[in-house]
Copies of this chain bind each other. A is one copy, B any other.
């Protein structure tokens, strides 16, 4: 099978690495000539809306998928006219707009923080406060959002975020941030990974503990129910991640990612089948692999620059994943997964020291 991927970053790279043993080869479309997936996949250099690039990708692929959700609608349509596209473009559309996303959650009975659409500075006046004000589209890793604690914070906030369509989400006093990665096969089979606990810094994921300590069966069942509702409503095929806030025994859905997800990187070592392999299995119409836990582990993101490989490799049970990307502040250049019995704090200290 030949899988096309829109985007040639680390997610595409890890998809391609997972594909080779299955006899699945990936071709990626990316505007950067040095896109890091190019080391293990065929790289077509082109903009995400370039007709020529999209057509070449379609011709090189039996099915096309994505490593990011902000795919131009016209590009998804053009691809869908020539080749199978999974997950379905409708899922991208929902995930591209925080308001649509929250409305879908609400419609499905999935709890969220209170939210409201904001189209002007005046509409901010009603609250609720404290809240997070976010652009509806194109936000990621904490970009395009600001916290409004009181009325003073709200002043000029609409202009500061570019006078774009916004969503105001009530600030929730949550216990912790969790996420669940789930996958649905073409035939409807669903597999869910264990809930994990995520720690962010400056809006960027730093650490994931898998499984989430003391999550319990009821919380896992609730998260799986939520994931399944979304997957089934969207007739979804592939991996989907659901970011959640835990508040006592409740889970509030924060956002979804219609793709393999950073909080699922631990599955390469920690689960019986990785999220990358299961995404490929799903979009290629193969049966899913079991998502069962192999052993608990902690994933540490390498942000900005990677420590020396020899130092990382010296940490017991550290599994090093470098993406082949040039260093740059705030950029994810790799991750390390430390399995049970290893010293993840040592890996985190190395990551912090760079």
Contacts and interface: CB of A to CB of B under 8 A. Distances in A.
A1 B21 CA distance: 23
Given A272-B339, A339-B272, A309 B23 contact: yes
Which of A1, A22, A314 gathers most chain B CB within 10 Å?
Answer: A22
A336 to B, nearest CB: 10
Interface stretch (A164-172, A227-235, A236-244, A318-326): A318-326
A306 B316 CA distance: 37
Contacts of A322: 21-23
Contact of A287 (B21, B289, B313): B313
Contacts of A20: 13, 17, 39-40, 324
A23 B281 CA distance: 26
Interface string A18-38: 001111010000000000000
Contacts of A40: 20, 40
A316 B295 contact: no
A18 to B, nearest CB: 10
B339 A281 contact: no
A120 interface: no
Contact of A290 (B285, B310, B317): B317
A248 to B, nearest CB: 35
Chain A contact-residue range equals 20 to 34
A286 interface: yes
A5 to B, nearest CB: 16
Contacts of A324: 20, 23
Contacts of A1: 309
Max chain B C-beta neighbours (<10 A), residue from A17, A289, A316: A289
B314 A22 contact: no
A314 B288 CA distance: 8
Contact of A314 (B287, B309, B319, B339): B287
B313 A286 contact: yes
A294 interface: yes
19 contacts: A1-B309, A17-B17, A17-B20, A17-B21, A20-B324, A21-B319, A21-B320, A22-B313, A22-B320, A23-B306, A25-B39, A272-B317, A272-B339, A281-B313, A285-B310, A286-B309, A286-B310, A289-B313, A290-B317
Given A22-B313, A23-B322, A287-B314, 15 more contacts: A1-B309, A13-B20, A17-B17, A17-B21, A20-B39, A20-B40, A21-B319, A22-B309, A22-B320, A272-B317, A281-B313, A286-B313, A287-B313, A290-B316, A294-B295
